[in-house]
Copies of this chain bind each other. A is one copy, B any other.
Amino acid sequence: MDTAPLYRQLASHYLHAIEAGTLNAGERMPSIRVLMARHQVSLSTALQMCRHLESRGVLEARPRSGYFIRKPAKSTLTPAREPQCTTPDPAQFVGVHARVSDILTRGQAAQVHTNFSGAVGAPELYPYEALRNAAIRGLRNHPDLFGRAVPLHGDATFRSVLARRALDARINIGADEIIITQGCVEALNLALRAIAQPGDVIAVESPTFYGLLQILESLGLRALEIPTSPQTGISLEALDLAAQTYPNIKGVVVVPNLQNPLGSIMPDSHKQKLVQWCEAQQIALIEDDTYSALGNSDVPLSAIKAWDHSGNVIYCASLHKILAPGMRLGWISAGRWQARVEMLKYAQSRPNEALPQIAAADYMASSAYERHLRRLRARLREQREQMADAIASYFPAGSCLTVPDGGLALWVEMPAQRSSDAVFDAALQAGIRIAPGLMFSNLNRFDHFLRISCGQPFTRELDQAIRTLASIVERA
């Protein structure tokens, strides 16, 4: 049974037709009315399908004349493969720290002219001037700010602004249910410490954000890697299977929207199912919502927390990728673990400093924030498409890539047998830093993948760097 949502199934259908040459660049797509009749689908499904293909750069909308097939990129890569639904093995991550640190250190030591390794945008993508002015205003309005103890749990105004903004993601919480943290990384630490003891098993997506693997190892927790689809996120079937094999899973950590590194977005039906499944199994569900504001669409993506009625979901978020890479602002709303997380945050690092919160609150309460996000989304989308085109043009045959519907990076599969570690080193020699796939899993399953950042405006130099990288991959 194909578990992808209907519009995605339809989209693949037309994608195949286009790849096979049945439909050609410049041709008009069947109209929405025709699509509805032909496939017996609703208006919204037909529309969603077209918008999806538009967001992938396959179709373009022309005002008053419908959708047309776009000129394909210089070449196209095979979309990323779906994972197999296997029963995984909870590995104690001895060594992941050392491995990741080793890669970070090698990366830092090298002099590079092109940095594709970070999942973060270039400074000019962020409103640093406006934030700086807000900070100066904050310092003027609170002359004795540095002389007074910092506010418990965070600045009250900032917490209200966050609570108001969270409504967009359909999260309904009060400001007093929000604790400000030192980035999402601290939020994840607190969430995991709240729900688990050393030795416990935590289910995670595979591949996943390497920072999460470091956190798990440093807390003595064991990661159970669950196969995760580049399209629809964590496999619920695989998770269920895993829970039957390992009845002692304490928590599940997911990035439901624009997963790092895959870029997948869980369909809302999956989100809801996952919430219900975790509740039934009495397994805590930790949501990392770092990227959801970076989707192609201006319609906000829903948080998993939106379906939580029992407090079983711990929501963690960050402004690091969407507002200010130079601030360390994250937050957590911990449902039924709220009191415990408040305690842990106090014991771990005390409340955060007020100034960045005051500046961010000032900016986020204004309409400039929405305008910034719209601009950021549009620019990232363009940069992703340009990078994907370059990769498709230069990378050797057998490479696979799905361009995600948002986010800061592309996850590229090299032809088999390529080692991302070797490519990493050779690229550093050539002045290029990428994130090798082996950072994102403990299972060596992604050793022939690269994560390539799309955070910088695309230039001739970046194009050249991708060409160089491709030749390194070719020879690897």
Complex Cα gap A131–B148 (Å): 12
> Which B residues are in CB contact (< 8 Å) with A354?
326
Say yes or no for A147: interface residue by CB 8 A criterion: yes
Report if A147-B198 is in contact (Cβ < 8 Å); known contacts: A101-B343, A108-B152, A182-B349: no
Complex Cα gap A352–B181 (Å): 12
> Which B residues are in CB contact (< 8 Å) with A355?
135, 355-356
In the complex the two chains form, is B150's CB within 8 Å of A123's CB?
Answer: no
> Which B residues are in CB contact (< 8 Å) with A126?
146-147
**Chain B nearest Cβ from A182, distance in angstroms:** 4
Report if A144-B128 is in contact (Cβ < 8 Å); known contacts: A186-B348, A328-B349: yes
Number of identical monomers bound together in the oligomeric complex: 2
Q: Number of A residues whose C-beta is below 8 Å from B?
A: 61
Say yes or no for A143: interface residue by CB 8 A criterion: yes
Residue of B nearest to A121 (CB): B147
In the complex the two chains form, is A350's CB within 8 Å of B182's CB?
Answer: yes
Report if A124-B136 is in contact (Cβ < 8 Å); known contacts: A182-B182, A218-B343: no
Q: Contact mask A340-359 → B, CB, 8 Å, 1/0?
A: 00111011111111111001
In the complex the two chains form, is B144's CB within 8 Å of A123's CB?
Answer: yes
Dominant SS among interface residues on chain A: helix
Residues 268-308 of A contacting B (Cβ, < 8 Å): none
Say yes or no for A236: interface residue by CB 8 A criterion: no
In the complex the two chains form, is B128's CB within 8 Å of A145's CB?
Answer: yes
Say yes or no for A436: interface residue by CB 8 A criterion: no
Residue of B nearest to A348 (CB): B189
In the complex the two chains form, is B327's CB within 8 Å of A353's CB?
Answer: yes
- Beyond the given A132-B146, A136-B139, A146-B327, could you list 19 further A-B residue pairs with CB under 8 A, ordered by the A residue number? A123-B144, A125-B147, A129-B143, A132-B145, A135-B139, A146-B356, A182-B182, A182-B350, A185-B348, A185-B349, A186-B350, A189-B347, A189-B348, A198-B198, A198-B220, A214-B343, A214-B347, A328-B350, A328-B353
**Chain B nearest Cβ from A132, distance in angstroms:** 5
Residue of B nearest to A346 (CB): B214
Complex Cα gap A271–B97 (Å): 35
Say yes or no for A325: interface residue by CB 8 A criterion: yes
Residue of B nearest to A218 (CB): B347
Say yes or no for A324: interface residue by CB 8 A criterion: yes
In the complex the two chains form, is B131's CB within 8 Å of A146's CB?
Answer: yes
Say yes or no for A173: interface residue by CB 8 A criterion: no
Identify 8 residue pairs between A and B in the complex whose beta-carbon atoms are under 8 Å apart, listed by A's number.
A101-B343, A146-B326, A182-B182, A182-B352, A214-B346, A328-B352, A328-B353, A349-B349
Residues 69-122 of A contacting B (Cβ, < 8 Å): 97, 101, 108, 118, 120
Among A193, A217, A326, max chain B CB count under 10 A is at A326
In the complex the two chains form, is A150's CB within 8 Å of B326's CB?
Answer: yes
> Which B residues are in CB contact (< 8 Å) with A325?
146-150
Q: Contact mask A134-165 → B, CB, 8 Å, 1/0?
A: 01100100011111111010000000000000
